[in-house]
Structures are given as structure tokens and as C-alpha cells.
């Protein structure tokens, strides 16, 4: 018997329409849809992304998350975000962290 969490409203691609409706339970359910079992490292990235969103009202660029993970886990973990979310930062990390689908990324 499934104990799936009722997800808040999502768009056609599965991203939350309203990021403030995100909870850790929602993240677990979104991760389940992506076939990802959340580990401490996943949560570290997700919590960093949520804090960044709460401060700036936009999703963190992947380079900010990569830098955060490298500072915590060492320089060799620079690409850890892509190990944690193998189908992509936007497709999986942003979705699970409750971001709206990012429109475009700055390169600078």
C-alpha cells in the first residue's frame, strides 16, 4: 500500500507551480518519481538550493551548488551534483528542490 504524499500543484513537466509549497516530504515524493533515493549529500544540495531561493527568489545557478558541494566535500567533488542528479541539474535537482522550471541561465 502506497503512502505517497499529495503533491502541490505542478506544471506539465512536474515542477512545482509555487516553490513555497515545497516540503521535505514533497521532495521525497518528487525524488521517487525520478527514481532517486535521497541521501545526506542530496539533502545538502537541496537545502543549499532552498536557502538560495529564499534569499534571492530565484533558483541557484548550478555553479553555485557545485561550489557549495566542493567546499563541503572537497575539490574532487566538484562534479558531485551530476552524480547525485544524473539526468541533469534542471531536470532533477531543481525539480526535487521545488523550484519552478528555470527559464534560462546566466553564463557570467
What's 88's domain CATH number? Answer: 1.10.10.370
Give pTM, 2 decimals.
Answer: 0.88
What integer pLDDT is reported at residue 1 of this predicted model? 45
CA pair distance 88, 100, nearest whole angstrom = 15
User: Residue 74 has what DSSP assignment?
Assistant: -
Question: Is 49 domain-assigned?
Answer: yes
Domain tally, the chain? 1
> Which range marks the domain in which residue 91 is found?
19-96
Question: Is 92 domain-assigned?
Answer: yes
What integer pLDDT is reported at residue 104 of this predicted model? 62
Question: Is 73 domain-assigned?
Answer: yes
Helices (H), ranges, the chain: 24-33, 40-56, 62-73, 80-84, 95-96
Question: Is 108 domain-assigned?
Answer: no
Question: Is 27 domain-assigned?
Answer: yes
User: Residue 78 has what DSSP assignment?
Assistant: T
Non-local (6+) Cβ contacts of 39 within 8 A are: 84
Question: Is 102 domain-assigned?
Answer: no
Report yes or no: 97 and 22 within 8 Å, Cβ to Cβ: yes
Question: Is 1 domain-assigned?
Answer: no
Question: Is 29 domain-assigned?
Answer: yes
pLDDT digits (tens, 9 = 90+) for 10-63: 999 999 999 999 999 999 999 999 999 999 999 999 999 999 999 999 999 999
CA pair distance 41, 81, nearest whole angstrom = 9
Higher pLDDT among residues 18 and 77, named by residue: 18
Question: In the predicted model, is pLDDT for residue 73 greater than 80?
Answer: yes
Q: 3-state DSSP call for residue 16?
A: strand
Amino acid at each position: 500500500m502506497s503512502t505517497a504524499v499529495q503533491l502541490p500543484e505542478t506544471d506539465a513537466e512536474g515542477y512545482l507551480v509555487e516553490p513555497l509549497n515545497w516540503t521535505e516530504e514533497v521532495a521525497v515524493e518528487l525524488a521517487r518519481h525520478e527514481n532517486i533515493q535521497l541521501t545526506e549529500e542530496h539533502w545538502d544540495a537541496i537545502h543549499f538550493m532552498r536557502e538560495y531561493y529564499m534569499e534571492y527568489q530565484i533558483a541557484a545557478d548550478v555553479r553555485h551548488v557545485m561550489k557549495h558541494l566542493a567546499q563541503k566535500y572537497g575539490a574532487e567533488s566538484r562534479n558531485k551534483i551530476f552524480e547525485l542528479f544524473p539526468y541533469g541539474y534542471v531536470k532533477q535537482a531543481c525539480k526535487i528542490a521545488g523550484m519552478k522550471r528555470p527559464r534560462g541561465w546566466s553564463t557570467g
